Homo-oligomer: A and B are copies of this chain.
Amino acid sequence: MADNSKIAVLDSSLTDRLPISSKTLFDAKASKSLTFDSIAKELGRSEVAVAALFYGQAQASAEDVKKLSNILGVPESKLAEQLLGFPDRGRAGPMPPVEPLIYRLYEIVQNYGYAYKAVLNEKFGDGIMSAIAFSTKVEKETDEKGVDWAVITLRGKWLPFSRF
């Protein structure tokens, strides 16, 4: 019996919003009881990128497909066909998010959005932090009292507004 407190699986009511590859990938992951951490290590990508790929929010290279086929035990041709094409991002869940964990991230944008803008503008000038030329990671810290802290790092290229 799989340990339901360790493995992230795909909520069945979410399937219709996601590309068909999501179901294939999550089903294989569940049947092998793999974590994103272990897949990420074999794939040589970040954990969040792998999870994003599973949710149809990131692209797999041909090499990723080959490796995923081995890791998950899914025929390469099937994976290739389902992962064929360019991701259609942004439709995994509703906005504003209703999932409490995701809402907290949204709330950070809601509360600190203008503060980030003001600080970034003063540091970099008029522009934006790219969400495309961008990477992100999740880390776990435990403080001296044994309390766990989640640390999310967002790193994006600074794009100044063109003058025209």
Binding site for B on A (CB under 8 A): 1-14, 16-20, 30, 35-37, 45-49, 51-52, 54-62, 65, 76-77, 80-138, 140-141, 147-164
Q: How far is the CB of A17 from chain B (nearest CB, A)?
A: 6
Chain B residues near A81 (CB, 8 Å)? 2
Chain B residues near A1 (CB, 8 Å)? 62, 76-77, 80
Copies in the complex: 10
A-B contact pairs, 28 of them (CB 8 A): A1-B77, A4-B65, A5-B61, A5-B126, A11-B88, A12-B19, A13-B19, A46-B164, A48-B116, A48-B164, A55-B115, A55-B118, A89-B100, A90-B110, A92-B114, A97-B113, A99-B117, A100-B128, A104-B130, A104-B156, A108-B136, A116-B138, A123-B150, A132-B160, A133-B162, A134-B162, A137-B164, A151-B153
Asked if A164 meets B49 with Cβ closer than 8 Å, knowing A110-B98, A152-B153, the reply is yes
Closest chain B residue, CB of each to CB of A158: B148
